[in-house]
Structure 1
Amino acid sequence: MFTKIILALVLIVGIVFVVAAFQPKDFRVARSTTIEAPAGTVFDQVNDFHKWETWSPWAKLDPQMKQTFEGPASGTGSSYAWAGNNQVGEGRMTILESRPGELVKIKLEFIKPFAATNTAEFTFKPEGNKTAVDWTMLGEKNLISKAFGLVMNMDKMIGGDFEKGLADLKRVSEAAAKTPQP
């Protein structure tokens, strides 16, 4: 009887991994919003990791999170590392490409709770006195993450966080656009 149970479990696990192997190797999560502020104002909030605390959905999850900034204050080459509780984990972001008012491309390296390297992109498109903002995360899935994806959808897992972050980015950017600049 015990042997049959073990064989059944092995068969189920085998089937899960076979099905997982045929899943797409890439994932993409994207959210968009329109912000009533110039593209340069919105871009400045994203291009400087020091400013993320005011709008990032993860910054609020662990007030005791350790943060380290390296490289230039903003733009290409600047990096931000964090280590926090189970909700935020540990990782590092580095800006790979920065085009003022157009694009911020980030290498996103997760260490904990799981190791992964992904790309995040923010694009900014002026629409009169407003800016259309797209936040996208792209990555590849290994066999384990493909199997995990059979029960947990990456879009559902972090899409809501992107929506919260974009809502806060909108609030912060619109306030900055209304503040007179020296």
Structure 2
Amino acid sequence: MKTIFKILGIIILLIIVYAVIAMLAFSKDYHFEKSVVINAPKEKVWQYVGSTKAFNAWNPFAKADKNIQITYSGTSGQIGDSYHWKGNDQVGEGEQTVIGVIPNERITSKLHFISPWEGEAKASFILAPESNGTKVTWTMDNELTPMMKMMKPMMNGQMDKMFGQGLDNLKKMIE
């Protein structure tokens, strides 16, 4: 019994040490990006990333809840183009609003997460010619709270999975 308490004590101590190191060592600025090359001209790719409605046709986050409620507003593909989503606990609730557009090159959005946690982030799709196709880079930037800093390694894994799934969906739709 003494050995079990000793092991539990060591595990708890390691968790505390990791938490302190994560809060002190990890930057509050978080950037994640993932890219894919699609065998199509950027004008064709733009049709699938250049508006919130086009994005939601392949968005893996929205597809995580088949009963998600999405409400669109603004002019599609223009600054102010936006949508509000409300879904299950996995999807949560939030809003995404286009804040910058360079047609066939870049679209940037502001994300406002309402639940399960309050937060904001910026996301972009950047298109660049590569070989006979288009390189699509999906980025997200936000500021991490101290608690989120501790979860950064798990966040990276989840973001890699979801961005990869989304870019694969996009590639399949276009090619």
User: TM-score band (shorter)?
Assistant: 0.7 to 0.9
Answering whether residue 102 of structure 2 is matched by residue 96 of structure 1, we say: no
Is this contact kept in 2: 1:90–1:110, CA < 8 A? yes
The aligned counterpart of 1:170 is 171
Instruction: Determine which of 133, 139, 142 is the counterpart of 2:136.
Output: 133
What residue number does 1:118 align with?
Answer: 121
Distance in 1 (CA, whole Å) between partners of 2:16 and 2:35 is 39
Residue 85 of structure 2 corresponds to which residue in structure 1?
Answer: 82
Alpha-carbon distance, 1:79 to partner:
0.5
- Is contact 1:31-1:159 (8 Å) kept? yes
What's the TM-score, normalizing by structure 2? 0.84
Is the aligned partner of 1:67 residue 2:41? Answer: no
Q: How many residues in Structure 1 have an aligned counterpart in Structure 2?
A: 163
Identical columns (%): 33
- Taking structure 1 as the reference length, the TM-score comes to 0.81
Shift of 1:147: 2.9
Correspondence 1:105 to 2:108: yes
Describe the SS at the equivalent of 1:59: helix
Segments ≥4 residues shifted beyond 3 Å: 11-18
Distance between the aligned counterparts of 1:159 and 1:128, measured in 2?
24
Give the distance between the partners of 2:167 and 2:78, measured in 1 at CA: 20
SS of residue in 2 equivalent to 1:41? helix
Q: Deviations over 1:97-132 (max 9, x none)?
A: 111111011111111111111111110002354101
**How big is the alpha-carbon RMSD for the aligned residues of Structure 1 and Structure 2?**
2.0
Task: Give deviations 1:55-100, integer Å, cap 9, x for gaps.
Answer: 1112222121111111112221100110000111111111111111
Distance between the aligned counterparts of 1:54 and 1:81, measured in 2? 15
Partner-residue secondary structure (3-state), 1:133: strand
Which one-letter code corresponds to 1:133 in the other structure?
V
SS class of match (1:68): strand
Matched, 1:50 2:53: yes
For the residue of structure 1 that corresponds to 2:47, the secondary structure is helix
Worse-superposed segment, 163-172 or 57-66: 57-66
Shift of 1:16: 5.5
What whole-Å deviation, never above 9, does each CA across 1:16-74 have from its counterpart, x for those lacking one?
65421332111111111000111011112112211233211122221211111111122
- The gaps in structure 2 that reach 5 residues or longer are 1-8
Deviation at 1:15?
Answer: 5.1
Alpha carbons 1:29, 1:154 under 8 Å: kept: no
Deviations 1:118-164 (A, max 9, x none): 11111000235410111111111121212333xx4321121111001
